């Protein structure tokens, strides 16, 4: 049985005030507190969420209820337009709220037993990419490859599953803070990330590209001298810069990926970082940037008659499932993914969802 849990911004103001993590107001990647405020639509929602929150934060139920009451008060004071769809009994968790969660899962050799005792596994997935991770707001139901994989992991564990909507700015924070047990969320496997989190073998592979509106921008070299939007905690800016250097569009004597910082880079191209794809897309619509660089699957959401994706693809993006580093859940999940891949089940899921087949993934079956 799948339980659907919306985690998109829990009492950001409460969490910020408790943990003192106010962001810089002049950063384009700053979370808008008025849109990140907790919003419990009815008292029954808060009551339904109290036992869950008590368990996640190791609080007594009275303390958890007081926490939720505070969240509701802060939510009532938020801007009138800053509301999010709530599902009965669901709770909202913070986008970028420091300090929330237990933060004890790294190196935990008892995660599998803990999840089985709890009876539910909490998995972060995308909510805006049809075919991979998509939340139908009318029904409150998630669908896509990440959801199908999550259901199979839950079945292997013998527990229910909560699916949690995440984006590139929230997925690893919620994993590190113990709110999530696993993250998918189209997270690319990179050497840097592998030092911080464990990864399964890839369940899907995508490529990076750039979305533009200006019809005079027809290829990657046309981006030289322009500013490009990227989302925080992704490798899009680095991948695009490397591709432009490789094409000779940016003439550098040397390029060291280890010292690359997107927000300060100005050699031939510059970048503006945003908390999520929607904000990056808005910057493109307003003309703040000339393009938006991300995975093709993410960019395809914003295609229309006024904008197009550049024809070049670069930087293969293998998506993996990330448990906390050195936990016993890592080996368990890795085994499930390999079994699904090598048995042909993953290919059948892709086929049923209309996704391209991923023959390259079979190399992990040799």
168-181 per-position pLDDT tens digit: 889 999 999 999 99
Q: What residue spans define the domains of the chain?
A: 12-93, 101-203+320-366, 207-318
Question: Between 154 and 366, where is the model more confident?
Answer: 154
* In the predicted structure, residue 225 carries a pLDDT above the cut 80: yes
Q: Find residue 307's DSSP bridge partners.
A: 304
**Nearest residue to 188 via CA among 172, 176, 211, 205:** 205
Instruction: Name the pLDDT band for 40 (thresholds 50, 70, 90).
Output: very low
Q: Do 355 and 228 contact (CB within 8 A), yes or no?
A: no
Q: Which two tokens stand for residue 236?
A: 């899009």
Q: What is the CATH number of domain 101-203+320-366?
A: 3.40.190.10
Same fold, 101-203+320-366 and 207-318: yes
pLDDT at 113: 96
Listed as own residue / partner, the contacts of 178-181 with beta carbons closer than 8 Å and 24 or more positions apart are 178/56, 178/101, 178/102, 178/103, 178/104, 178/105, 179/7, 179/56, 179/93, 179/100, 179/101, 179/122, 180/122, 180/123, 180/124, 181/105, 181/111, 181/115, 181/121, 181/122, 181/123, 181/323, 181/324, 181/329
Report how far apart, in Å, the C-alpha atoms of 287 and of each of 71, 77, 210, 231 are. Answer: 36, 32, 15, 17
* In the predicted structure, residue 59 carries a pLDDT above the cut 70: no
Architecture per CATH, domain 207-318, reads as 3-Layer(aba) Sandwich (3.40)
d(CA 198, CA 205): 17
* In the predicted structure, residue 304 carries a pLDDT above the cut 80: yes
> Can you give the pTM of this predicted structure?
0.67
- The predicted-structure confidence for 5-33, as pLDDT tens digits, reads as follows 443 333 333 333 333 333 333 334 433 32
Alpha helices, H only, the chain: 12-19, 33-36, 43-57, 61-76, 111-118, 145-157, 171-176, 191-194, 236-247, 277-286, 296-299, 328-342, 345-353
Q: Find residue 212's DSSP bridge partners.
A: 291, 308
Instruction: Name the pLDDT band for 1 (thresholds 50, 70, 90).
Output: low
Percent pLDDT > 90 in the chain is 61
Instruction: Provide the terminal-to-terminal Cα distance of the chain, rounded to the nearest Å.
Output: 33
Q: What is the DSSP letter of 173?
A: H
**Nearest residue to 41 via CA among 104, 103, 83:** 83
d(CA 21, CA 3): 31
d(CA 80, CA 319): 37
Q: Which two tokens stand for residue 233?
A: 């905690």
Q: Do 232 and 274 contact (CB within 8 A), yes or no?
A: yes
């Amino acid at each position: 049985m799948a339980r659907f849990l919306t985690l998109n911004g829990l009492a950001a103001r409460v969490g910020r005030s408790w943990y003192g993590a106010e962001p810089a107001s002049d950063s384009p990647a700053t979370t808008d507190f008025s849109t990140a405020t907790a919003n419990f639509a009815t008292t029954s929602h808060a009551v339904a969420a109290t036992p869950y929150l008590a368990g996640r934060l190791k609080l007594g139920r009275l303390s958890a209820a007081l926490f939720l009451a505070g969240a509701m008060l802060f939510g009532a004071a938020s801007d009138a337009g800053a509301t999010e769809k709530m599902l009965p009994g669901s709770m909202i968790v913070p986008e970028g709220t420091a300090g929330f969660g237990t933060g004890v899962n790294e190196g935990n050799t008892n995660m599998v037993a803990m999840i089985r005792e709890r009876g539910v596994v909490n998995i972060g997935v995308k909510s805006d990419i049809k075919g991979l991770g998509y939340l139908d707001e009318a029904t409150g139901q998630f669908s896509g490859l990440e959801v199908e994989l999550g259901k199979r992991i839950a079945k292997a564990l013998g527990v229910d599953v909560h699916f949690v909507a995440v984006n590139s700015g929230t997925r690893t924070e919620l994993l590190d803070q113990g709110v999530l047990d696993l993250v998918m969320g189209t997270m690319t496997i990179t050497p840097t990330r592998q030092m911080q989190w464990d990864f399964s073998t890839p369940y899907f592979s995508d490529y990076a590209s750039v979305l533009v509106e200006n019809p005079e921008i027809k290829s990657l070299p046309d981006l030289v001298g322009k500013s490009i939007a990227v989302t925080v905690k992704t490798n899009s800016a680095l991948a695009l810069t490397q591709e432009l250097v490789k094409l000779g569009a940016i003439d550098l004597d040397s390029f060291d990926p280890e010292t690359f910082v997107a927000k300060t880079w100005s050699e031939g191209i510059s970048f503006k970082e945003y908390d999520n794809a929607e904000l990056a897309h808005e910057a493109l619509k307003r003309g703040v940037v000339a393009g938006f660089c991300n995975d093709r699957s993410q960019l395809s959401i914003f295609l229309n008659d006024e904008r197009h994706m550049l024809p070049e693809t670069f930087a293969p993006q293998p998506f993996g499932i990330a448990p906390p580093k050195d936990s016993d859940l890592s080996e368990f999940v890795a085994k499930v993914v390999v079994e699904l891949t090598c048995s042909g089940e993953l290919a059948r899921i892709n086929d049923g969802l209309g996704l391209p087949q991923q023959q390259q993934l079979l190399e992990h079956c040799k």
